[in-house]
Structure 1
Amino acid sequence: MIEFFERPDGTPPANGYSHAARGAGRLVAVSGQLPVDPQGVLVGAEDALAQARQVFANLGTALAAAGARPPELLRLTFFLTDLADLPAVRTARDEFLGDGPLPTSSLVQVVGLVLPGARIEIDALAVVDDSAAPHAG
């Protein structure tokens, strides 16, 4: 269960994120996802939207592997090499989240990423309801 506080009294307007969130359940941490396909090949070398869509696809796959879904995202951290890519990233984010809740987020501009040609990396935290947790046996 996650409770989102999109714009608590006294906070400035938010553009596609919540100012705060709290949750109870299993914490799922997803490492930074890069714009690579399942074979590890860079997608969309000069296309920020293609890269952002690939990063969100990878994020969705990683979340699913851990038993989580996009509505259970608590936090997204964005790393961009060029802030001019932000509109494309927001488009891909909105496609990925749909009408779901808006997780908290941070954006950091970086000089470069570990993969040459990558323009974006995103890591995430999600909270999955304990009652939905698979049990190892």
Structure 2
Amino acid sequence: MTRSIINPAGLHNPTGFGYSHVVSAPGEQVFIAGQYGSDAEGHVVSEDFEAQVEQTFANLRTALEAAGLGPSDVVRIGTYIVEHDLGKLEVLLKHLHATWGTELPAQTLIGVASLALPGMLFEMDAVAVRG
């Protein structure tokens, strides 16, 4: 698959914030539902934010692999953080850059009051493209 990352000169450089402004890719879209820091039974793995983010990224990779895809096929993510603050953003940035380097997907981060289950602090959905 050939995906194209575009960060126009007229806009700020977003990579330090964990996303790209525009990502385009030809092919079939694959939608990954919201993943969270859960074990195989759906229980939240920890009360610790970073542990939940780490497990969420592992679960995203599992979902992508089940579709025959990987992180490089992801063109957009949505991230949802309970009681978002800059400390939590730094944790997320660490995992974003470890997964995508500087070739980041488009992203919308939304701070929320709560998520679907008690104890959930982070959730991420994704759109990937099978080229």
RMSD: 1.3
> Distance between the aligned counterparts of 1:95 and 1:3, measured in 2?
20
Q: Which amino acid aligns with 1:8?
A: P
Shift of 1:41: 1.8
Contact 1:3–1:23 under 8 Å retained in 2: yes
> Distance between the aligned counterparts of 2:89 and 2:21, measured in 1?
19
1:6-17 to 2 correspondence within 5 Å? 7-14=7-14, 15-17=17-19
Q: Residues 43-102 of structure 1, C-alpha deviation per residue, up to 9 Å, x if partnerless?
A: 121x111100000111110111111110111001000012222111111222223x3621
Contact 1:34–1:118 under 8 Å retained in 2: yes
> Distance between the aligned counterparts of 1:119 and 1:89, measured in 2?
12
TM-score, scaled relative to structure 1: 0.86
1:3 correspondence with 2:16: no
Secondary structure of the structure 2 residue equivalent to 1:83: coil
Larger Rg: 1
Q: Residues 96-117 of structure 1, C-alpha deviation per residue, up to 9 Å, x if partnerless?
A: 23x3621000000111000111
State the partner residue of 1:88. 91
TM-score, scaled relative to structure 2: 0.90
Q: Which amino acid aligns with 2:71?
A: P
Contact 2:20–2:105 under 8 Å retained in 1: yes
Secondary structure of the structure 2 residue equivalent to 1:77: strand
Contact 2:37–2:123 under 8 Å retained in 1: yes
Secondary structure of the structure 2 residue equivalent to 1:31: strand
State the partner residue of 1:112. 114
Q: Which amino acid aligns with 1:3?
A: S
% same residue: 34
Contact 1:48–1:89 under 8 Å retained in 2: no
Contact 1:71–1:100 under 8 Å retained in 2: no
Shift of 1:22: 0.8
Secondary structure of the structure 2 residue equivalent to 1:78: strand
State the partner residue of 1:123. 125
Matching residue within 7, 31, 36 for 2:33: 31
> Distance between the aligned counterparts of 1:43 and 1:87, measured in 2?
20
